[in-house]
A and B are shown apart, each in its own frame.
Chain A
């Protein structure tokens, strides 16, 4: 279960149903237990911590977002909505908006069906090797979807894709069997790598559901169909919907897949259009404005989705989904058992094994277009990339150091902010709670645009073209992860512990250091890795911010592919996969034991 938890939450806006509404939710009834608040002795300390927390969130998250709104709506010193509507109405922008919605909708529907079906299979049927299967279905969380897109481009590009070529060669087809450069192709790839969002939510709900409800229905004579329709589905629906909304949120703001498969064929969504505009029109004001307007649309949609999710979840928290462990009723698949098992294995082979293999094989080729024979394959590209190629060596170094720094800073900042939100009773906390919600609804490309506006010299500090601007963006982007992990840990530290220490004469600082910090350390560690691993493969924000020497791994893979260095980009992608998977396995082993006991 630990393994599942860490993996699940390594995806943005994780699937952990209970907390996806943000850290602001404080469930404990502490209203009555506030005898020893900090007002008595530590007025200074409490205020300083609160002030620092607000300052961090304002500078890192709120200012960039406000600047985006400001630039979108404020033209020549005047508030102007008509101009915003004009920009949205432009054919290119309108098309990008529609595309974002269409792709997100298709991906969401597809992933929901796939995710729910597999979740049902591994929890409620007698499918063979269920445990192993469940673990395998979570692997796509680890694979960056733009690397997946890269692999599928190699497999299914219309004329040269290995699968298409195979069919054209051996079955005499005149055209490709599937063209990956299409809406369907983009949605298919996104479904493959996003469905675990729904999968893990639904698995959780089905496992936690009280079996006596279904049993009593059965005893009363209801058939399986009636039970499913009247009991199971209503109980699981909130989880399905909230997983689906997470996917919607993610796909709307997703850069990588659309960039790899769409741009070349004129399919843009909001993040790729922002990227294209900013990169190609010389950073002119017009393009930045278009960017800010599009970003505003993204933020508004994201906020709406999160609000909707909160609503669904609060309605769906039936007490009957308790935490008891039990053996759920299993459906006998009978004749379908083996076919379905084979289908699952095929799915995993098709979505995980095949793309990964292709990446490693192409990475070993001397040049793209050669066949996979021993004389064409070697480890030369991998050696070149690790030891001789400055661009890739820099990129690996940058990603690792950026990831570590962002994770460290965000971990400490997150502990402090969560502490104020969860534990402290000071005036002005409400404002902080509101600020704490912000990082959850701001997608990566919006953050990137915001930090460009905030940190490129207009307001005194110029970080543009340095690693620092990427660091600032990462901190803003991953603050949500840290807040969630830390507030979850803090909620489990009861106030009475600190109170006891204070009664025994410890200073507030001592109480914090000796009681609270040791207890939340697992949460902090979890936050650290929840940030470090995704940061290693970050693309959406860094692609807008990189400079000659500040490419990250994601940027390097993407630009190498764009420059036609297909074998190099595949080799780097292979190395990145090894780093990510090794990191994840280490975390599972290391944090898996530590995080025991915290949700």
Chain B
């Protein structure tokens, strides 16, 4: 009796382990691995749509902060093989440096004519697939008068309660810090420090902290904020006139086994169908024929491109570490 039970247990366990092996080896015809800094709410739907259109391509994706993904890619290069086929983040300078290092596949998508292209020096190594914007998210229970200017952040009601995601972890945060520094100089951050602004973790966490009231306001990415607003969080997103825009480029890694599937994905991402999904999540589409949904207080894409603070990505790339260090020292240094 006792040993039968043991035997049954062992059999079950062995069976499970074997199944693990089987599942691992049963592969689809084509496969595709995407590294992206887009959160689940955005990338999930897009991959689902892509799978419906191309059921033969098995798609896997990793969603994490741009900093982490780049670290992962660097580690993978070290060990000889980049696992990802496609990378889609919002940290534009990374794409310039990856292009320089020659690890990106050149692919001039036929759809380029149909989209708003924020890159004057477009060569086909990476293509903007979304125009991310950042504004000030406020907790509507804690802050009653919506901010209109960036300088509103120096007001007492934001004291000790305005958060910026760690630019070492979040690509959008790094972009915004660079843009704000370009526009207003370090003086802007000195004043933020005087008002005890805080450095948070990732770009998602500062928004969640704003929703919970841990922060009264934060520098927030459009779709992350809009996703929480649509779920009922007590937050609202406002854009001061000097607009922070971080285009999110997508690029294909050179020499991988799945380049063809990757190209299919790039084209799908730029298609009307996928861009409607992107707009529906509360961020700006790169297609002019996609209408922005009414419920979000987003600027028009074309208008946003004009209003956006301009920056030279190549210069930015060279200064990344120094910029992050100076930012951290300015806000947290003793």
Residues of A within 8 A of B (CB): 157-160, 165, 263-264, 266, 279-284, 366-370, 376, 389-391, 400-401, 404-405, 408, 456-457, 462, 464-465, 467, 518, 521, 525, 547-549, 559, 561-566, 594
For the A-B complex, the count of residue pairs with Cβ-Cβ distances under 8 Å equals: 135
User: 17 other contacts beyond A158-B214, A264-B201, A370-B234, with CB at 8 A cut-off?
Assistant: A157-B212, A279-B68, A282-B70, A369-B139, A369-B213, A390-B44, A404-B13, A462-B81, A518-B3, A547-B72, A548-B35, A548-B61, A563-B65, A563-B204, A564-B201, A566-B208, A566-B212
Among B39, B80, B215, B234, the residue within 8 A (CB) of A457 is B80
Q: Which of B265-312 contact A (CB under 8 A)?
A: none
Among B44, B169, B214, the residue within 8 A (CB) of A280 is B169
Q: How many residues of B contact A (CB 8 A)?
A: 62
A564 near B206 with CB under 8 A, answer: yes
Residues of B within 8 A of A (CB): 2-3, 6, 13-14, 16-17, 20, 24, 33, 35, 39-40, 44, 60-65, 67-68, 70-72, 74-76, 78-81, 83-84, 139, 161, 168-169, 200-215, 224, 228, 231-235, 332
Q: Which residues on A sit within 8 Å (CB–CB) of B39?
A: 563, 565
Q: Which residues on A sit within 8 Å (CB–CB) of B211?
A: 367-369
Among A369, A390, A405, the residue within 8 A (CB) of B208 is A369
Among A157, A284, A376, A521, the residue within 8 A (CB) of B232 is A376
B64 near A559 with CB under 8 A, answer: yes
Q: Which residues on B sit within 8 Å (CB–CB) of A547?
A: 62, 72, 83
B70 CB to closest chain A CB (Å) equals 6
Q: Which residues on A sit within 8 Å (CB–CB) of B83?
A: 465, 547-548
Q: Which residues on A sit within 8 Å (CB–CB) of B209?
A: 160, 564
A88 CB to closest chain B CB (Å) equals 22
The 4 closest A-B pairs by CB, nearest first: A564-B204, A283-B75, A282-B74, A548-B62
Q: Which residues on B sit within 8 Å (CB–CB) of A165?
A: 213
Q: Which residues on B sit within 8 Å (CB–CB) of A464?
A: 75-76, 79
A280 near B13 with CB under 8 A, answer: no
A-B pairs with beta carbons under 8 Å apart, 21 shown: A159-B213, A160-B209, A266-B332, A279-B71, A280-B71, A369-B233, A370-B232, A376-B232, A389-B44, A391-B40, A401-B17, A408-B17, A462-B81, A547-B83, A548-B83, A549-B60, A561-B205, A562-B205, A563-B202, A564-B203, A564-B205
Known: A279-B71, A368-B212, A389-B40. A263 touches B332 (CB 8 A): no
Known: A280-B68, A465-B76, A565-B40. A366 touches B232 (CB 8 A): yes
Known: A159-B161, A391-B40, A548-B60. A369 touches B71 (CB 8 A): no
B208 near A368 with CB under 8 A, answer: yes
A283 near B78 with CB under 8 A, answer: yes
A367-B227 Cα distance, complex, nearest whole Å: 10
B49 CB to closest chain A CB (Å) equals 14
B20 near A157 with CB under 8 A, answer: no
Q: Which residues on A sit within 8 Å (CB–CB) of B60?
A: 548-549
Please give me the residue from chain B that is nearest to A462 by CB atom. B79
Most buried by B among A158, A367, A391, A464: A367
A583 CB to closest chain B CB (Å) equals 13
Please give me the residue from chain A that is nearest to B17 by CB atom. A405
B204 near A565 with CB under 8 A, answer: yes
Please give me the residue from chain A that is nearest to B230 by CB atom. A367
B13 near A408 with CB under 8 A, answer: yes
B123 CB to closest chain A CB (Å) equals 25
Q: Which residues on A sit within 8 Å (CB–CB) of B228?
A: 367-368
A548 near B33 with CB under 8 A, answer: yes
A562-B84 Cα distance, complex, nearest whole Å: 22
B208 near A263 with CB under 8 A, answer: no
A286 CB to closest chain B CB (Å) equals 12
B79 near A457 with CB under 8 A, answer: yes
B131 CB to closest chain A CB (Å) equals 22
A404 near B17 with CB under 8 A, answer: yes
Known: A280-B67, A368-B211. A564 touches B233 (CB 8 A): no
Q: Which residues on B sit within 8 Å (CB–CB) of A263?
A: 201
Q: Which residues on A sit within 8 Å (CB–CB) of B72?
A: 283, 547
Q: Which residues on A sit within 8 Å (CB–CB) of B63?
A: 391, 563
Q: Which residues on B sit within 8 Å (CB–CB) of A404?
A: 13, 16-17
A408-B14 Cα distance, complex, nearest whole Å: 8
A463-B211 Cα distance, complex, nearest whole Å: 41
Known: A456-B79, A521-B6. A565 touches B200 (CB 8 A): no
Q: Which residues on B sit within 8 Å (CB–CB) of A467?
A: 24
B316 CB to closest chain A CB (Å) equals 18
Q: Which residues on A sit within 8 Å (CB–CB) of B17?
A: 401, 404-405, 408
Please give me the residue from chain A that is nearest to B16 by CB atom. A404
Q: Which residues on A sit within 8 Å (CB–CB) of B235?
A: 369
Among A158, A282, A521, A563, the residue within 8 A (CB) of B75 is A282
A481-B157 Cα distance, complex, nearest whole Å: 54
Known: A282-B74, A566-B208. A368 touches B233 (CB 8 A): yes
Please give me the residue from chain B that is nearest to A371 by CB atom. B234
Known: A367-B231, A369-B233. A564 touches B202 (CB 8 A): yes
Q: Which residues on B sit within 8 Å (CB–CB) of A264?
A: 200-201
B126 CB to closest chain A CB (Å) equals 19
Please give me the residue from chain A that is nearest to B141 by CB atom. A369
B137 CB to closest chain A CB (Å) equals 11
Please give me the residue from chain A that is nearest to B216 by CB atom. A159
Q: Which residues on B sit within 8 Å (CB–CB) of A282?
A: 70-71, 74-75
A159-B158 Cα distance, complex, nearest whole Å: 13
A564 near B71 with CB under 8 A, answer: no
